A and B are shown apart, each in its own frame.
Chain A
Amino acid sequence: MYQAKGINDIGIKPKALAFIAAAEAVGSENWGDVKTGPVTRFSSAEVREKISDKSRIRGVFTRGDQVIGFLKKIKEQDLGMSVVITGVLTEVLAACKKAGVTPHSINYSLGVWGSKDKLPDEVALSVTTMCGHHMIPPKFVKHIMKQVEAGKMTPEQGANRLSDFCYCGIFNQVRCADIIRDNV
């Protein structure tokens, strides 16, 4: 959920709570407010309590039916806040159609350009890029994978530890656990 500066950025807390309720109702795996942190680290009550007009609420869905259900609930309530769904375009657009919402604008990703030889390996990138602000150090991903490999933690525990670093709550720890499992 996004508020626009000078347009609809005052008194957002009740709307943010409605967004969170809709996300939780369809089983969002992770969500958070960048000003407090993700629910993988902080309690849902604490994140809700601290919501202010500076908050930004983001979350994760792992199935198309969750996205459709969430969009239907938000459309019904007509909260007037901007909503962005990020993902594979064919899947997101199909979900929009089924939910009865009309896409307005799209930020198309044309990928990474420049000195790509300096990037970490694909496995680390597939985890770190789930946090758009890049709060997850690539070497920490490798460290966690070694811990899992050594039997010191499960893939799920490793993924949850990594999700702590992404304050938005947009990190998909379910997918991350799969990546860890497939690569150790």
Chain B
Amino acid sequence: MTYCTVDAIYFKDKKCTIDQDECVECYVCIRQKVCPRNAIEPSPLDTFYKEFKHMMSDPVENHPVTGVTGRGTEEVKTNDVSGRVRRGQVGFSIDMGRPGLGVYLRDAEKVAMAMCKVGVELAPAEQSPLAALMPDKSSGKLKADSLDTRLLSVIIEGHCREEKLKDVLLALRKVEKEIDTVFSVGLILRVDEQGMNNTLRCLDELNIPQPHRGKVNVGLGRPLVTD
């Protein structure tokens, strides 16, 4: 159907049906009032994972632990005051399922585990909703009962020393062939006054094109983190 972000609405025998396993509870169909007979109602968020699914897939909601809307993370957006990524570090914002394919948590787990194996320290649960599903954050492994949960997207957030960037990119290049969805890769770096960071040179060694788009935190937050 035209109006579903993840193709979970089917038209059969003159009737529309929502596949509850495929639905990510993004509420686009409800908010846009797409049913001419007003027949779509939110299904009860009566389990932890149904509620988690809705919190992650509907950007209007604030995540209950991190307190942040969107996917519940601040990433580079407030780095000038949070200091989440410091000089000498590389931050990662791996946006699983984006753009638009959605993601089963089993695939997010594969990517998170691959990153942890090469030394990425994942962001804690107070900053990153996905970490709340990890009994041991150092492994990236998720709770077994979460793996069949499908979300519109979820961000794997973490950081490592700049020297390890090449290893992490190689790990991502390997694991991208082992998953059934896509992910958008964001590298978060502190930059000099010209907006440059030489760490990106290692992309050339891996034949990864130099980035020409990005999100620039322009350093107007206070108190400013300077290291």
Q: A105-B79, A128-B99, A134-B153 are in contact. Are A85 and B216 (CB under 8 A)?
A: yes
- Give how many A residues have a beta carbon under 8 Å from the other chain's beta carbons: 67
- Rounded to whole Å, the gap between the CB of A27 and the closest CB of chain B is 20
- Rounded to whole Å, the gap between the CB of B217 and the closest CB of chain A is 5
Please name all residues of chain A whose beta carbon is closer than 8 Å to the beta carbon of B125 when the two chains form the complex: none
A119 touches which of B26, B182, B220 (Cβ 8 Å)? B182
- Give how many B residues have a beta carbon under 8 Å from the other chain's beta carbons: 76
A113–B172 Cα gap in the complex (Å)? 9
Q: Mark B24-60, 1 if CB is under 8 A from A, else 0.
A: 0010100110000000000000000000000000011
B189 near A143 with CB under 8 A, answer: no
B220 near A83 with CB under 8 A, answer: yes
8 Å CB interface, B1-38 against A: 1-5, 7, 26, 28, 31-32
Instruction: Name which residue of chain A comes closest to B93, CB basis.
Output: A107
A58–B125 Cα gap in the complex (Å)? 26
A143–B217 Cα gap in the complex (Å)? 36
Please name all residues of chain B whose beta carbon is closer than 8 Å to the beta carbon of A82 when the two chains form the complex: 77-81, 217, 220-221
Q: Taking the complex as formed, is B201 at the interface, i.e. its CB lies under 8 A from any CB of chain A?
A: no
A119–B183 Cα gap in the complex (Å)? 11
8 Å CB interface, B167-205 against A: 172-173, 176, 179-191, 193-195, 197, 200, 203
Determine, out of B62-70, B115-123, B128-136, the stretch whose residues face the partner at the interface: B62-70
B101 touches which of A81, A118, A129 (Cβ 8 Å)? A118
B78 near A3 with CB under 8 A, answer: yes
Determine, out of A43-51, A151-159, A162-170, A173-181, the stretch whose residues face the partner at the interface: A162-170
Please name all residues of chain B whose beta carbon is closer than 8 Å to the beta carbon of A78 when the two chains form the complex: 220, 222
Please name all residues of chain B whose beta carbon is closer than 8 Å to the beta carbon of A112 when the two chains form the complex: 98-99, 182-185
A103 near B184 with CB under 8 A, answer: no
- Rounded to whole Å, the gap between the CB of B82 and the closest CB of chain A is 5
Q: Mark A7-49, 1 if CB is under 8 A from B, else 0.
A: 1110000000000000000000000001100000000000000
The main secondary structure of chain B at its interface with chain A is loop
Please name all residues of chain B whose beta carbon is closer than 8 Å to the beta carbon of A85 when the two chains form the complex: 215-216, 218
Q: Taking the complex as formed, is A63 at the interface, i.e. its CB lies under 8 A from any CB of chain B?
A: no
Please name all residues of chain B whose beta carbon is closer than 8 Å to the beta carbon of A60 when the two chains form the complex: none
A90–B195 Cα gap in the complex (Å)? 10
A118 near B216 with CB under 8 A, answer: no
B76 near A105 with CB under 8 A, answer: yes
A101–B195 Cα gap in the complex (Å)? 11
A119–B7 Cα gap in the complex (Å)? 13
A83 near B217 with CB under 8 A, answer: yes
A89 near B216 with CB under 8 A, answer: yes
Extra 7 A-B pairs, beta carbons < 8 Å, given A106-B215, A110-B186, A110-B187: A4-B74, A5-B68, A82-B77, A107-B91, A112-B99, A139-B7, A140-B2
12 contacts between A and B (CB under 8 A): A81-B220, A86-B214, A92-B216, A107-B75, A107-B215, A113-B172, A113-B183, A114-B182, A115-B180, A132-B98, A137-B3, A139-B2
